[in-house]
Each structure stands twice: as C-alpha cells, then as structure tokens.
Amino acid sequence: MALMITDDCINCDVCEPECPNEAIYMGAEIYEIDPSRCTECVGHFDEPQCVQVCPVSCIPLNPQYLESQETLWQKYQRLQKAGQPLSPAADASGSAASPPASGT
C-alpha cells in the first residue's frame, strides 16, 4: 500500500527530503504523497522513512491503494528504470585504447 498524509500534518517539511522516491510534495494546504511513487520504501529501507521522521504521526497506510509487497517491489523497479540517465555514458568501457606505437 502507498501511504497517505492526513489533515494532522503541520507542514514541518521534514518528511519530503527523506523520501527516496520523491513521492512527497507540497499540496494545496499540506504535504501529500503520490501513490504512484510511494513503495512504502520497499527497495530502499526496511521502514517507511516518512513515518519514522513525522513528529505528529500523520502518515497512515492509504486504504485506496492495496498493494502486495511484490507489487511495491515492481513499482520500485519501474521507478528505478524511469530514473536511469538517458545516455549511459558513465558506464562506457575504456577510453581511446589505442595500442602503443612499436618502435624498431
């Protein structure tokens, strides 16, 4: 299940930077969680990081998004793929490996 933020949120800003999936954002009045990006931190941490840091415990499970651990894992993998750089230049192997000119 994705998590959700209730009206008890005091906009303290601490959860947003803790989310490894960038699922938390400032809504019209309080912070909100994008259920398509929340994996309950599956793939990154053992516990939901936002829940760990929230001082008013206002981040319960979202009953509208019933998801198994496997589904959360697949969401994590989809997000990872989407986050890949378009050109994997950093992974290029070897640079200008020209053989040394052999003298006489």
32 binds ligand SF4 (CB under 6 A): no
Concatenated DSSP letters of 30-82: SEEE-TTT--TTTTT-SS-HHHHH-TT----B-TT----HHHHHHHHHHHHHH
Q: Which of 1, 7, 10, 93 binds ligand SF4 (CB under 6 A)?
A: 10
Give the count of residues interacting with ligand SF4 (CB under 6 A).
Answer: 28
48 binds ligand SF4 (CB under 6 A): yes
1 binds ligand SF4 (CB under 6 A): no
What does residue 30 show for φ and ψ, rounded to 5 degrees? -135, 175
* Residue 22 C-beta: closest distance to ligand SF4, Å: 8
